[in-house]
Structure 1
Amino acid sequence: MDSGDTAWVLVSAALVMLMTPGLAFFYGGMVRSRGVLNMLMMSLGSMGVVGVLWVLYGYSTAFGSDLGGLGLLGAPTEFFGMGGLLGTDEVSDTVPTLAFAAFQAMFAILTVALISGAVADRARFGPWLLFGGAWATLVYFPAAHWVFDLSESGGWIATRLAAIDFAGGTAVHINAGAAALALVLVLGRRSGWPREMGKPHNLPFVVLGAGLLWFGWFGFNGGSALAAGHTAAVAFVNTLVATSAAMLGWLLVERLRDGHATTLGAASGIIAGLVAITPACSSVTPLGAIAIGVLSGGVCALAVSLKYRFGYDDSLDVVGVHLVGGVVGTLLVGLFAAPAAPEGVAGLLYGGGLDQLWRQAVGAVAVLVYSFVVSLLIAWVIKATVGFRVGAADEADGIDERQHAETGYHFGDEHALSQRSRLRESVEHELEGNKS
């Protein structure tokens, strides 16, 4: 066990944990003021549900001994409750297994929270928690086994297919994006969409959330090296430059298409770049990372408008950014992978032919299809049994009041206090006049 590596993994776990509140601010700022608390609660609720399930059986399902030798599923009860990981001899690579488990728990939490942006302003909170728990169990934990279990008898995408996904382009972003698409198809459109879309109520929240996500992503990608060394440094630099380039790529598309470069576009471009570099950050050079960033920023800026053409109401563009960005980043590994990078694999542009590209494509499609189909079934069952969507009146009045009995901003109270203050001053003035 190495204390430096352990410290890096634990700090990285804390950075990834911060990404979920960051996502809450990012999503919360983009909705109307009467829905901000619901967006915050959907992210916080994901932390509660998935955090508990991860300890009970999630870690075992993702990283337990492979069942049947097919690379599809870990043994769900092998590390039930994680009590067996408390011994000092439990070491994965150079860090305690429990530190690795904590790091991976943050990935599971964030992935569920990512989905929530697609159904903003219309999903009931209780059924959302039910969906999050069922989805994590049936979709995320198995997909994490496919992609992240690098042991000899581990997941089929990582070991048999040999697709490169350093930090979760498939298991996190394509997975969440496909689930988001399924969920919006089951829940349907918001009332009045697309005529009455409603603008983001707090762009400073959006920028704050994007900044926290970018900051936490250095742990997301760099921490996936599981060591404070060369690979972590490469991932760190690639995460920086790809994200910078993606922001510029998004803003360029906005400027050419709409005539303006917007704050929302800059924040969205940041997320698109982070998503796309996630699978590739250990396999490309910084110049390759810039290319991935520019391409992903431009493609995602165009992809977010697809919902208007095809008629699916993806409220906060989870499909356009995470699904599309995840697919772009995963496939571009097959083009830009450089032998000099830590992975040591040559992509098409470095003389490696199509070998890595087809592997990347198979991994991306497999996770996309599995997540979409199972997510569709989970959402449909919840809708048919307990109901998933809020009523039309609740949606019109504001989901915060109806679902949480709270409001994010008490503008009316301030107005009432001001009126009462003026009334009090008037009464006091009249009394003083009577006395005189």
Structure 2
Amino acid sequence: MTKCSTFLSALLCIFLCYINDSHAQERKALVGGTLVDGFGGTPIQNSVILIEGEKIKAVGTQGSLEIPGDAEIISTEGMTVMPGLWDMHVHLMINGHATYSEWHPTYRDTFKEVIMPASANQLLMAGVTSARDLGAPLEEIMSVKNRINSGEIPGPTLYVSGPFIQHAPYPGTDDYRWGVSGEKDARAKVKKLADAGVDCIKLIDQDEMTREEVFAVVDEAHKNDLPVVAHAHRPNEIRLGLEAGVDCFEHTGLSSAPAYPDDIMKMLAERTAQMNKGPLFWTPTVEGLYNYEYVRDNPEKLDNDCWKLGLPDSIVNDIYSSIQKPGELPYFQLTPVRKPTLEKKVNQLREAGVVLMVGTDSGIPMKFHCQSTWNELDVWVNEFGFDPLYAIKAATYWPSVMMGVDDKYGTVTEGKYADIIAVKGDAVRYISLLQNVEMVMKHGKRVK
């Protein structure tokens, strides 16, 4: 063997040893916890989750799955371990301030560098490792999404709509509400969003648009492989959305009507029976309304420091001052008559075969990014009587399916990204334990 080939062989050996050492340092094992994997089945006791780099290498139990000797062992004894949560309806550009008309003009210039990054980090620290932002200025939300993906700033993996599509923006909201005038303009606006890299199209007040405009929005979005998310506040929004082929509806309605009309229930049953079209998804966002009276009467809940993370004192003080009289906020004055309708409507949707997902409208007045997601789960389980595993699946597996990334996220499964959270105690029996997430891991890296 020549000196040259000997030298090259030595270099190759050193390189391979370095690579192997690097991989060994990236190996982790979560050992001992009760695993709720996201599929909705029986939790796995004494679980072992092997992680290599960003991905899950294997899932098993103590005694049946060998733990590599070079793995970092993280004990999860006495804890519930589950996939990182998804929140399917957040607004990073707002953070609990009572008055939108004051918030937007005052802080518009800080959205990209202060408000949105702070909101994203608050979600992540609450165990939300993936989130869908439904309504924000395009350049700002794309910047935050890309900076999170590159590792420049902390936050959940974001799926974004950019600006709303509607007939006409409300005064002073043109940067995050895009009006459309005619079919051609509707297609052009959707194409502009698609070219910018959004993950879905958000359609609102579609009952105020022409049928041609609504159908053009949905068709153009689907041509660009983008799902369409639409408001469902009014019956005609739902009717028109179903006719046009909307993929996911948001909210349970602004009216105090006790239930959805019979014709809408018939339309929903017909749509969910069409299995070739895939599931019809719905994010009811009930927590903000359901818990309003409790927050109004127990305002100490607003003193939690978690929502202040990343915000300068001046903004914190402004938010806090704006919510000092929660019983007088115009945003919630109709809530007491709407609250009794929420459980009925959510159960109507479930009985019709709609796939429900956890989303919160996080950021609306008095609803903070660090609290909203677990509060939504708590209402589903402890107020509406949903099975905890059903609710957790609605905050893990189904969102990943809706966004077309269930091969990468949504469950604790071999080959998927290691987005995993853990809480002390039995979170299946006591869902409110999720208000104190002990460990947050995103892409194999422990961030909390």
Do the two structures share a fold, i.e. TM-score over 0.5? no
| Richer in helix (by share) | 1
Q: What TM-score does the superposition give when structure 2 sets the normalisation length?
A: 0.25
Q: What TM-score does the superposition give when structure 1 sets the normalisation length?
A: 0.25
| Richer in strand (by share) | 2
